[in-house]
Structure 1
Amino acid sequence: MRNPVVFWSVLLAIMVAEVYGYLAVRVVLNLSTLTERRGFAASYWLLTLGLWALGIWGFSTRHAGNATLKGYLLVVPLALLAAKFVVLLPLLLEDFARLGRWAARGFSSPPPLGAAAPLTRSEFISRLALGLGLVPLVAMLWGMVRGKTDYTVRRVVLRYPNLPASFDGFKILQISDLHTGSFNGNPEPMQRAVA
């Protein structure tokens, strides 16, 4: 990258995603002893750095040797990074929420006894995951029920000075990218679209 600000911003984003990915896996594994935590940390970071090194090597030497293998070597760390960015969003949001609660506690009186406890991390992430899971579900349902017949009809009049007169009033119909599914024997939406 020629712009150092972009380079360092991308590198910082990758590092943050890698750290949050590590923390997420560590929390899920629930390692109890110091030896287990240290062993996991060493294994995780050696594997991560090794995959990145292979990916960078595959990219830098992609024109020499087995290009397919080198392509896979590049895709593996990028695919893992994409997964870590998905993990990053809810964890980062939760950390900002905790930071906000911590700051608010510093400027207000403590909550009274018997007050509802704030969401735990697992509750927050579970609720966020359910909310995120609803987005594609609602989009798919809308597409199946309403979107399959929500066509866009554009009428465009073309005027060309060198077009022969025999094409005056000529109509051209283009139909593309229909995801119609099943009309259940109802051809009316398609007839309405092409009328």
Structure 2
Amino acid sequence: MAKRIALIFILFLLGDIYFYQAFSTLISSAALRYIYWALDLLLILSIVALLSFPRLRKNTAKYFPTFISAMLLFFVPKLVSVPFLLLEDVGRAFNGFPARNLYVSELVVALAIILFGLIVFGLTRGRHHYKVRKTTIYFPDLPKSFDGFSITQLSDIHAGSLKNKREVQRGVNLANAQGSDLLLFTGDLVNNAASEVTAWMSTFAQLDAPYGKYAILGNHDYGDYMAWENSMAKRRNLDQLKQNHSAMGFRLLLNESVTLRKDGESIRLIGVENWGKGGFQRYGDLAKATANVPHQSFNILMSHDPSHWDEVVRQHQQPIQLTLSGHTHGMQFGFEIRRFKWSPIQYFYKQWAGLYQKGQQYLYVNRGFGFHGLKGRIGMWPEITVLVLKRTESA
């Protein structure tokens, strides 16, 4: 972890030095140049202090979101300068390294200003910039009665991070406006404590669908990331969280399945507790959850962490046609242009946002409704997923 932080820090520092070359080409004021480096030095010293002093390290969770926001604002826009200035340097090398081109410097600074504005939007309005993403998926073995059946999926509400009731209500209204047959929530209702959702229960209780609403637990829901007085206190917190789900009208699936029936036919909805890799908990038990599932049934699985799909689900003896996950948030930072998408999270998770297919099995990873850590979303907007199930003509 320390090596990764050091590498990121070095990359940011190199980008900063490069950007300063463009900045100094355009700005002749010595005072503004001093201010430039004073702001950088203040941020750098703050990061070093946070990593170096034990007392501050204890409060990392408290200060981390602020420092991440500051780094995004003051370092990331400058990184855009690197490829442009490197290309310019190739040309300058053949001409004895003359002064930097004014127009290249203007372009670099203009792009940095645009990116700075986007980050400001993401840290303010972006956290509630809800996007409905509608996807149609075709299956040869989908029961005819469920042809056109629709599902609204929400994930990663993280109620402990929410503040703006009006905006959250707008997101709930938008989810209900999709008019889906079924509503599914794929985990991380809270950051740590069950009490975080208390003020929001009446809001999320408004979510509705004719075939019901179901939920599973995410890694944050177990209270594993905070210190408790004792194991009983932690257990009571989890019990309270389960009761909160019920009070909001959600049926919580804990390594179990339910049958959904329509016009004499049925599909199976399966929910597992959190299962992750790389140090995350493995409470999920797919074998237990599918113990009573008929072999020929059409199955939809809710599993919070998408790594479960490649590691377990695809090889499981019980075929799972569709898996719904969340967890990654798209790292709340990235960009998506048509079919091209990028986020740093892709270097940690093979499946991290949107629809994936291998053979006849599908995985959809929701980008999350709320936010955690970074107090905003930049380019990776909060998501309300609508999945429409269709039966292929060849079936």
TM-score, reference length from structure 1: 0.46
TM-score, reference length from structure 2: 0.27
Question: Greater share of strand residues, 1 or 2?
Answer: 2
Question: Greater share of helix residues, 1 or 2?
Answer: 1
Larger radius of gyration: 1
